[in-house]
Amino acid sequence: PSANQFSAALLERLRTDLQARMQARGFPVSVSIGAATFLKSPASSDEAIRKADDLLYAAKRAGKDRLMQEEVP
């Protein structure tokens, strides 16, 4: 599998495990994750955080409780 597929599988497992643990403690939550994979180093840490944040909010707008991931050239 590609690095992007590996990270997607890992992040999806994190998302579902976190949700299950919170629900087991009586906290029904949805978990959304935004993740950016940069093929080249981003110009700044702010750029990296901004991209991941944009993806997080895209996940929430798409119905929450999901992973949004993008490969950035």
Residue among 25, 32, 41, 27 at smallest CA distance from 11: 32
Query: Band of the pLDDT at 1, cuts 50, 70, 90?
Result: low
Share of the chain above pLDDT 70, in %: 99
Cα diameter, the chain: 42
Mean pLDDT of the 59-68 span: 94
Q: Which two tokens stand for residue 64?
A: 């929450």
Phi/psi-derived region of residue 44, left when phi > 0, alpha when psi is between -120 and 50, beta in every other case: beta
Average pLDDT over residues 32-55: 95
Dist CA 70 CA 73 (whole Å):
10
- pLDDT given for residue 13 in this prediction: 96
